[in-house]
Amino acid sequence: MNKTVIEVHVRAVLPTSGGCAVFIGNSDKVFIVYVDQTVGSAITMFMREMSKERPLTHDLMAHLMTAVGAHVERVIINDLKNATYYARMIIAAENELQQKKIIELDARPSDCIAMATQQKAPIYVSQEVWDEVEDMSDVLRKMEEEGLKPEIDPESEATEEE
């Protein structure tokens, strides 16, 4: 069964007292996914394309996937139950005979966002989740006005490259 999805981007990552707030959205709407500090730091490093002295867990996963001819094709935040987000990671793999395989995994949204950011794969949210989440665009805009600079705004970058 195909469900409607909306493409979103990581708009900002901000530290909180309990971890990090990841602002995700597009020009129409922004919502927040709370993640632990280590994943928030990883997302920030991937957004900034920072080199690391030693591989982090997400780097290890990416190296393993590359070794077996796979990559993250896309991620989908597909459900929201009792204030908990759920996500799927879609992995495309190709063996040495050019045989292709698509693998869909249940994963934490935080890991999905980190892996998608690292591999520059698109992030989607299901229409059902999109309709349910509270729009935090004004909060992000106010924080930007007060001096917060989002890590990267992919929508403005896409316009510049075209």
Q: Using one digit for the tens of pLDDT, what is the confidence trace for 92-131?
A: 998 777 789 999 999 999 999 999 999 999 999 999 999 9
Q: What is the pLDDT of residue 55?
A: 83
Handedness of CA 121, 41, 57, 105 (dihedral sign): negative
Q: What is the pLDDT of residues 22-49, one digit of tens each?
A: 999 999 999 999 999 999 999 999 999 8
Set out the domains of the chain in order of their start, with CATH numbers: 5-161 (3.10.690.10)
pLDDT at 149: 59
Q: Please state the pTM of the whole predicted model.
A: 0.84
Confidence (pLDDT) at 152: 45
Would you say 17 and 24 are in contact if contact means Cβ atoms under 8 Å apart?
no
Amino acid, single-letter form, for residue 119: Q
Determine the pLDDT at residue 148: 65
Q: Which residue bears the tokens 């393993």?
A: 64
H or E element in which residue 112 lies:
helix 109-119
Residue 134 CA: distances (Å) to CA of 67, 82, 90, 105, 137: 40, 14, 26, 26, 9
Strands (E), 1-155: 5-16, 19-25, 30-35, 70-81, 84-94, 100-107, 123-126
**What pLDDT does residue 76 have?**
98
Residue 156 carries which side chain, given as an amino acid letter?
Answer: S
pLDDT, tens only, 62-101:
989 988 889 999 999 999 999 999 999 999 998 777 789 9
Reduced to 3 states (helix: H, G, I; strand: E, B; else coil), residue 80 is strand
* Cβ atoms of residues 5 and 125 within 8 Å: yes
pLDDT at 143: 84
Q: What is the pLDDT of residue 59?
A: 87
| CA dist 40 → 20, 58, 98, 99, 118 (Å) | 5, 12, 35, 35, 12
Q: Which pLDDT score, from 0 to 100, does residue 154 have? A: 43
